[in-house]
């Protein structure tokens, strides 16, 4: 695991988790957002991997539209074979290399969704 130079206190970690879950809950159908963008919106731009861990290990996160979160080039989560069909069902298109067409489907919130 990466040793973050800006480590979180337990209270900051709880706030980060809550912010991540709040942001993910707002991703509209037919749109995607990146782990890094979520981390930045939550106030911790160098913590993209922690967003993934938060979504994977937080009880109840599976009820959120986590399938709408991809990496910075539009690649889906390795080992999660259901993610692409869920995205395609919502009308999200993929490029020939298997990545989400980020130009068409990237969600860029206009407001601070973490508050």
Mean pLDDT, to the nearest integer, of 84-109? 97
| pTM of the complete model | 0.89
- Residues 64-93 pLDDT 10s: 999 999 999 999 999 999 999 999 999 999
Contact between 17 and 50 (Cβ < 8 Å): no
Provide the pLDDT for residue 112: 57
What percentage of residues in the chain have a pLDDT greater than 70?
A: 90
Does 20 score more than 50 pLDDT?
A: yes
- Residues 32-56 pLDDT 10s: 999 999 999 999 999 999 999 999 9
Confidence of residue 113 (pLDDT cuts 50, 70, 90): low
Alpha helix segments (H runs only) across 9-47? 10-25, 35-41
Tokens standing for residue 80 = 């999660």
Provide the pLDDT for residue 111: 61
């Amino acid at each position: 695991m990466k040793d973050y130079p800006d480590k979180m206190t337990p209270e900051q970690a709880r706030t980060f988790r809550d912010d991540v879950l709040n942001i993910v809950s707002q991703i509209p159908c037919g749109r995607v957002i990146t782990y890094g963008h979520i981390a930045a919106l939550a106030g911790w731009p160098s913590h993209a991997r922690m967003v993934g861990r938060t979504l994977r290990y937080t009880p109840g996160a599976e009820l959120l539209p986590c399938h709408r979160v991809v990496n910075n080039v539009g690649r889906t989560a390795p080992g999660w074979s259901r993610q692409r069909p869920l995205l395609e069902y919502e009308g999200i298109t993929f490029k020939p290399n298997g990545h989400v067409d980020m130009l068409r489907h990237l969600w860029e919130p206009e407001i601070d969704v973490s508050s």
